[in-house]
């Protein structure tokens, strides 16, 4: 991208601002015209977010469901997997609680000798 002088950037910024609707201008003024940068780079799309292992939620869900026997899950099961995956990746307290409880309950069953039985 070409470098532009400060004077030229200010002129372009003013032209963009003046070409906006009154409603758009009002929103910019509410945040502060000086704080507004019409030239900033766009952020990454939300659907491309990755977690610690650099996998997207779609990759994680697909990988998990491929490790489960097809006879062992239904559409509801798959929706539950996707829901908890998104909740954990987005650091949602509700899903962190579900996850922590599931781990605790699994350990409890192991301690009490029920580990070979399924839910």
Q: Where are the domains of the chain?
A: 6-35, 46-111
Q: For the segment 17-58, what is each residue's pLDDT rounded down to a tens digit?
A: 999 999 999 999 998 999 898 888 776 665 566 778 888 888
Q: Mean of the per-residue pLDDT values for the chain?
A: 87
Looking at the predicted structure, is the pLDDT value of residue 93 above 90? yes
Label residue 91 left, alpha or beta by phi (over 0 means left) and psi (-120 to 50 means alpha).
left
Find all residues with CB under 8 Å of 115, minimum gap 6, and list them. 109
């Amino acid at each position: 991208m070409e470098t532009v002088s400060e004077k030229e950037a200010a002129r372009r910024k003013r032209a963009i601002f003046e070409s906006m609707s009154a409603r758009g201008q009002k929103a910019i003024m509410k945040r502060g015209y000086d704080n507004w940068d019409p030239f900033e780079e766009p952020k990454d799309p939300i659907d491309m977010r990755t977690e610690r292992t650099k996998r997207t939620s779609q990759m994680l869900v697909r990988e998990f469901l491929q490790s489960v026997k097809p006879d062992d899950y239904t559409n509801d099961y798959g929706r539950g997997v996707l829901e908890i995956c998104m909740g954990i990746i987005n650091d949602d307290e509700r899903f962190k609680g579900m996850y922590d409880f599931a781990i605790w309950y699994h350990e409890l069953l192991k301690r009490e000798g029920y580990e070979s039985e399924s839910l």
